[in-house]
Structures are given as C-alpha cells and as structure tokens.
Structure 1
Amino acid sequence: MRLFGRFVIATLSGLVLAAAVHVVVVLASPRFATESAFARIEVMPLAEKAQIVSPPGGENTWLPLPDPAVAVAACPFDLSDGPERIAAKTGPLLLSFSMHTSTGGVFFAVTDKAAVRGELAIVLMTERQLDEARAGDDEDAPSRDVRIVAPDEEGYVVIRVVAPTPSLRAQAEEAAKAVSCTIDQDEEE
C-alpha cells in the first residue's frame, strides 16, 4: 500500500474515533453533572406550593437566559412516600406542566387545556400505586384526576405560566406559586 493510502486510512480512522468519543461524552455528561436541574430543585425547601425559580429580571436564577414573559416554578417529588398530587386552578394565562425524571428526561407534559371546570389535578404515581388506586376506585364515581405513571420514584415538576404583557408578569408569578404539590392523601389510603 502506498504512503498516500496509509495517510487516508489513518485520517479516516482518527475522524471516526474522534466522532465516537464525542458522541459518548455528550451522552454521558448529564450523568456526571453535579449542578443538574434535579440537584438544584431537590434542595428546595419542601413546601405545599411550587417555588419560583425564575424571578423577574433574571436575578438570582440558575436558568440560562430566562424568558421575562414566563414565570417558572418547580417542585420536587418523591413517590416512595405515596402519590404526588399537583393541583392548579386555571385562569386567563397559559399554564403548562412538564414532569421530569431525576436525570432530566421529560416523561409527560400537559397544559391547562386538560382542566375540568377550571381545575387541573394531576396525580403522579408508580405502577404499583396506580394498581392500588384502580382497585379502590368507585365505578359509580370515576376519578377526574389525570393519573400519570412516573418511570422513577424521584423527579420534579416544572410549572410555566406565560404573561403575554409585562404588566401581567406579577399575575403569572402568583398563578405559578398557587400550584400545590402535596402527597395525595386520597390515593395513599
């Protein structure tokens, strides 16, 4: 084989190896990140209401380039204590929820369009908890909750409320802070 042929093979081998290493590093980096979204939300004080993570003006936030028109709140969940109930009253502002695993993967998202009579109740649970809830359901009075099976016991919910004008930013924050995140007593029994 000629010198030029060896050079081409070595160059192509190096490019393939570099591409493979790049892909592995990009896919593995979330597993080794110490400042992940879950790590930041997990240390939030446990409260019955969602906590704002994007204050106006982007001050004291860890979000990259926060949108000033969107109030973002979050609450962690741990399903080992029982199902988690996320409840909100809808209003004129767009309200959306996204459920994330502890590694950051989104496993469910819903907007206020799923609300019934101005209220949205989401119950996050494990497969076993769902089976128990179904066994205890009354056929004459079916549950109006949106029941979601989480792939992991730990994770977090991100609540976003969009303010179409800057003057409605305070109202959007109040709507986000009004979302409750509690252990579901009804499903736990």
Structure 2
Amino acid sequence: MTPLGRFVLATLCGLVLAGLVHVAAVLAIPYLAAGDAMARSRATLANDTSVLVHAAETGGTAEQAEGWLPPQDPALAVGVCAYDLDDGPVRITAETGPLLETIALHGRNGAYYAITDQAAVRGTVELVIMTRRQFDEALATADEDERNRDVRIVAPSREGFVTVRVLAALPSQQAQANEAARSVSCTIDGPDE
C-alpha cells in the first residue's frame, strides 16, 4: 500500500470513529443530564408553596436549604416551585414587603419571563401561567366588566419551574428573606376560580 493510500485509510477510519463517538455522546445526553435544574425542581410539583433551595447567609448561622444550585450571592434567598400545565393553569402569588423580590419563569430552554416586586398591586404579585389553549379559553369566558389583577403569561412549554429570589440587604433581614422565598404560593387554578 502506498503512503497516500495509508493516509486516506487512516483518515477515513478516524472520521468514522469520530462520528461514532459523537452519535454516542448525543444519545447519552438525556442520561447524563438527569441532575439539571428542570429535573431537580420537579420534586416540588406536589407542593403548594415554593421550596427554599438557597438560604440567605448575611450573618450568623444559615438556615438549612436543599442546596443543589451553584454558589449564589450569600445575601439571596432562592425558592423554587415546578409546574405542569397539563393539570390546568398555575397561579403564582407572592406577597411583597420591604425586600427586593424577583420572580422568574423557566422552561426547558431557559428563562422566558421575569418580574420584580415593583409590579405588585396592593402588595401582591399574581401571575397565571397557561398554555395558548388555556389562555384562549380564559379570554372567551372572561367577563368584560371584571378587572383582573393577575398577569397572564403563555408558557412556551407545558412544564417548567419558577424561581423566587429575595435580597436580604442586612443581616437582620436574613430570616425575613428566607421566609419570603419559601412562602410564594404555586397552585393550580381550578375551573371555579
């Protein structure tokens, strides 16, 4: 075999091997990514309130939290609740206070909506997450004279999770921030509401 023939054969073998490795890597991704944020947050599906996953640690002893997030700002308390829109629209209700509070909605492909406590009406932020079909049904059955205080959001996917971040600017606000991150209501909107 000529040197050029050996080179071509080695190159073809290398390309075939590289192709097999890439196909194997792509097929292994679902098994290797079982610990992503979406999968971890699914454990909170049965809860009616958010679960504290990172406690504020501005001073003193930190409150115990689940701790599966990457390192966060020590002044932040982070709560998470998952949702599945197959059961119906999900209502997120947060009572705001003196601390900065943000709520972000995440789907499989990342965050798709965020809001702060500045959008609160009478101290309450109300979001309703729904599919396009659920949104159209809600519009069709809505009373034109009735005013809604909630913000209706059409989710890009049926499953996702909500993160609540509360900033404790001072050590004395640590417990208040942790409680605010834990107390956000995540409930399924029934047909009677």
Structure 1 and Structure 2 fold alike (TM over 0.5): yes
Q: CA offsets per residue over residues 106-159 of structure 1, 9 Å max, x none?
A: 111111111111111100000000001111111111212100000000000000
Match of 2:49 in 1: 49
2:71 to 65, 69, 94: 65
For 2:31 and 2:116, the matched residues in 1 are separated by 29
Sequence identity (%): 50
CA–CA separation in structure 1 for the residues paired with 2:99 and 2:129 = 24
When the two structures are superposed, what TM-score results if normalisation uses the length of structure 1?
0.78
What do the CA deviations read for 1:152-171 (whole angstroms, capped 9, x no partner)? 00000000011001221110
Give distance in 1, aligned partners of 2:116 and 2:31.
29
- Who wins on radius of gyration, i.e. which is larger? 2
Query: 1:104 offset after TM fit, Å?
Result: 4.5
Where do 1:78-89 residues align within 5 Å? Answer: 78-89=84-95
**1:1-189 residue pairs with structure 2 within 5 A?**
33-44=33-44, 46-55=46-55, 56=57, 57=62, 60-101=66-107, 103-185=108-190
Distance 1:125-1:59 versus aligned 2 partners, 3 A rule: closer
Report SS of the residue matched to 2:148. coil
TM-score of the superposition, structure 2-length normalised? 0.77
Amino acid at match of 1:44: T
The runs of 5 or more residues in structure 2 that have no matched partner are 1-24
Residues 152 and 60 (structure 1), Cα distance of their counterparts in 2 relative to 1, 3 Å cut:
closer
One-letter amino acid of the structure 2 residue matched with residue 113 of structure 1: Q
Return the offset for 1:61: 0.9
What runs of 5+ residues in structure 1 fail to find an aligned partner? 1-24
Given residue 147 of structure 1, which amino acid in structure 2 is its aligned partner?
A: R
